[in-house]
Chain A
Amino acid sequence: MIETNDLSKQFHDFMAVDGVNLSVQGGQILALLGQNGAGKTTTVRMLTALLNPSRGSARVAGYDVVKNGHDVRASVGVLTEQHGLYMRMSALEYLDFFGQVYGLDAPERKKRSDNLLEYFGLMEAAKRRVGEYSKGMCQKLALARAMIHQPGVLLLDEPTSAMDPESARLVRDEIARLKSSSRTIVICSHNLTEVEALADKIAVIYRGKILIQGTLDELKRNVLGSPEYVVKFAEAVDSNFEMPSGVELISRTSNSLKVRVEAAEESNPKLLSMFASKNIPVVALQEETRTLEQVYLKVMAQAKGYEYVQ
């Protein structure tokens, strides 16, 4: 579990993180989105008890990040911006070292290292020096390091960057599995498709401040408005009709119209009944696709003060 209250960090005159309030429960994934330098890494570093907050507080896995830094660090697994591997070690030695750091006994270290290396497809290269690894292999090994002690909280900075699609899928599956085992996960990512697929909650950070946060649906509704649907008719329709309550007409052509609905589960059946009562043949009622990218770009446009063009 992660709870932050007015979490802030100031470096001299620069406010890197300003009044961040987050709440992530076990079994939830929070995605932190933002430009480079927005304050994502600083937030993660405060959650790892690497940086002390200038103001506010944070509790990670039940521990205060200032008072119980050691316990916080023992309870989290961190994938840092740079993979930070020791190039003269083999993958096995590397995982064994971090296993010892986290106090695992030798048989357990061996078992977990083997499992992780096997899962990430690194077993064949397990005894090779890390210096000989590709970027993707390094990223997978760094992720294995973050998981070696099976932490309750995972803080992952760009977990699939530099990975091929197959490996990225593997990592996403593993993150989803970890989520299902009640772990608290924070992901910092620029890969919005990945975030859409994984995150339960999303927070957009800009110049240290959280601009918006919530579930994907909440963000879409709050930023882009109520969902829009396209109704396609089997033939050209000329007659006029009044929209049922909760449905707003946006545009219309002879054989289609676009509407915005407040609550689809209530409004859409009413809309279809109305067309049926007027003998207007409907061939499709389809929700307009709205992506996280649209949400993100609109939020950023608003924050920077320019008009968002879809």
Chain B
Amino acid sequence: MFNKLKPIWLVAKRELRDQLRDWRVLFPMLILTLCFPFLMNEFAKQTVDFLNQYNADLILDRLVPFSILIIGFFPITVSLVVALESFVGEKERGTIEPLLSAPFDDWQLYFGKLLVGVITPLVASYTSILLYLIMVIRLDLTMPSASVLTQLFLLTTAHAFLMVSAAIVISVQSTSVKAANLLASFIVIPVAILMQGEAVMLFWGNEQVLWLGIAGVTIIALLLIRVGIAHFQREYLLGREIDTINLKWMAKTFLLNFTGGASSILDWYKRVLGSALRRILPAVFFVTLIAGISIWASYAWIKDNVAEMIAMATPEDIAELEENISDIGELPDISEIQEHLSAPFLFLNNTRAVALIFLAGMVSFSVLGIMLYMVNIALIGGLYAFLELLGINPFPIFLAGVAPHGIFEIPALMIGSAVVLYFGAVIVTPQAGKSMGEVILELLADWAKIFIGLVVPLLAIAALIEAYISPSLLLSVMG
């Protein structure tokens, strides 16, 4: 085992030595590490003075963890510079070929680059955080709890792995450092949004949610590492020389996969769509399983928590609730809602939801897409439990109001989500002899086939039933 890991350290050690001799890396790293704790400290002092005027103690308590998050993040940004050029930089300098010709396994080269990408920024981040903590003690500010500190260290580490692994994916797939730097915005922008979300979580002060956040970032980082290894091919590092967007090739590859050489629409449905559906069959099984779990979990949660809330509610609480409801004013006219629940509206709404699941899944290796799917499908269990709590038998309501259109809509949602799961699974799996671009285009073609050929027609039928049949059936059941 040690012999297998030794080459990783060899690659990392060489590059680390190179970095320590490069003032362009060292200088910003030192500035970010040593100056930001002082700047943040000054900022904290000013903020404390300002907030003390308004007795905003809660914000003051959260200020230190937030500052640690920011301080830890800045030196990590340098990791982008190092990681982005890890492969493509060597390619430009002509040093990649001797390295690739050496007896390294792909994963050893990859992890060597990953390791060096995270070591320097993490050392800098931890140093910076420790410096700041010393200042926090000296200023007598509220020190975060050991648990929050652990979370912050883990979050900083996860950020480093997330950014470096994403940067290495870009570095392997780019043909020049310039292109890699331009593509870096695809890392910087999502990470900036992520940081905002984490800051909100920190100010909210819910540790459980923050743990989930850390788990989410870690999962995405691990998936990115997996993608990097899956699509690391010596051939593509050496083969491609020029940065051009070959729109003609892209269109040709997509269309070829989309049409599948079908001679007629019937042939397309039978052969091309059929084979795409067979490919996603394991994913359909998994989303069915996920649906079962989600429905059961939401049913159980509503049953436990809402019932408990109702049981614990005092007469005052109920009075307050009634008052709040009366404040809402009159409920909208049911005929107005009816207008909105037209077939085109329902169809567009559902189509948009499935498309959104796909988009969210595409940018997160299925994770966000499947989460959205879970939320959608969980509504069934939640609603069922809620009706039970209200003392209404949900079964006839579901049979008349949900089942007629649901037998089309739910499979459409499940198949649409299964493609997203399949998309993520294929992306993180090595595809021999294919570039990442080819793989993505083939997957997009598969999604388009299933979406246009099956999901959209199913949603159209479901919308017609939901608009014209389900309401009448529901009314007849409810009397």
Contacts and interface: CB of A to CB of B under 8 A. Distances in A.
Interface of A: 11-12, 45, 48, 50-52, 70-71, 73-74, 76, 78, 80-89, 93, 97-98, 100-102, 142, 145
Interface in B245-277: 249
A101 B103 contact: yes
Q: For this complex, into which size category does the number of interface residues on chain B fall?
A: 20 to 34
Given A83-B94, A97-B14, A73 B101 contact: yes
B199 to A, nearest CB: 39
Interface string B83-106: 000000000011111111111110
A100 B10 contact: yes
B102 A102 contact: yes
Interface in B435-468: none
A301 to B, nearest CB: 30
Interface in B1-46: 7, 10, 14, 17-18, 21-22
B97 A84 contact: yes
Contact of A51 (B22, B102, B104, B238): B238
Interface string B217-239: 00000000000000000110011
A50 B100 contact: yes
Interface string B101-115: 111110000000000
B104 A101 contact: yes
Given A50-B234, A86-B14, A102-B103, 18 more contacts: A50-B238, A51-B238, A70-B103, A73-B102, A78-B97, A81-B97, A82-B97, A83-B94, A84-B93, A84-B99, A86-B95, A87-B93, A88-B17, A88-B22, A101-B10, A101-B104, A142-B98, A145-B98
B239 A11 contact: yes
Interface in B296-346: none
A102 B103 CA distance: 7
Contact of A80 (B7, B93, B97): B97
B479 interface: no
A50 B238 CA distance: 8
B105 A70 contact: yes
Q: In this complex, which of A12, A88, A101, A102 has the most chain B Cβ atoms within 10 angstroms of its Cβ?
A: A101
Contacts of B18: 86, 88-89
B312 to A, nearest CB: 65
Nearest to A142: B98
B101 A78 contact: yes
B101 A76 contact: yes
A145 B22 CA distance: 24
A84 B94 CA distance: 5
Contacts of A100: 10
Contacts of A84: 93-99
Contacts of A88: 17-18, 21-22
Nearest to A78: B101
A86 to B, nearest CB: 6
B391 interface: no
B95 to A, nearest CB: 4
A51 B103 contact: no
Contact of B10 (A73, A74, A80, A97): A97
Given A11-B239, A88-B21, A97-B14, A50 B103 contact: no
Given A97-B10, A97-B14, A80 B239 contact: no
Contacts of A102: 102-103
Nearest to A54: B433
Nearest to B236: A51
A101 B102 contact: yes
A85 B18 CA distance: 12
21 contacts: A45-B238, A50-B97, A50-B101, A50-B234, A52-B433, A76-B101, A78-B97, A83-B94, A84-B93, A84-B94, A84-B97, A86-B18, A86-B95, A87-B93, A88-B21, A89-B14, A97-B10, A98-B102, A101-B7, A101-B103, A142-B98
B441 to A, nearest CB: 14
Contacts of B98: 78, 80, 84, 98, 142, 145
Interface string B380-423: 00000000000000000000000000000000000000000000
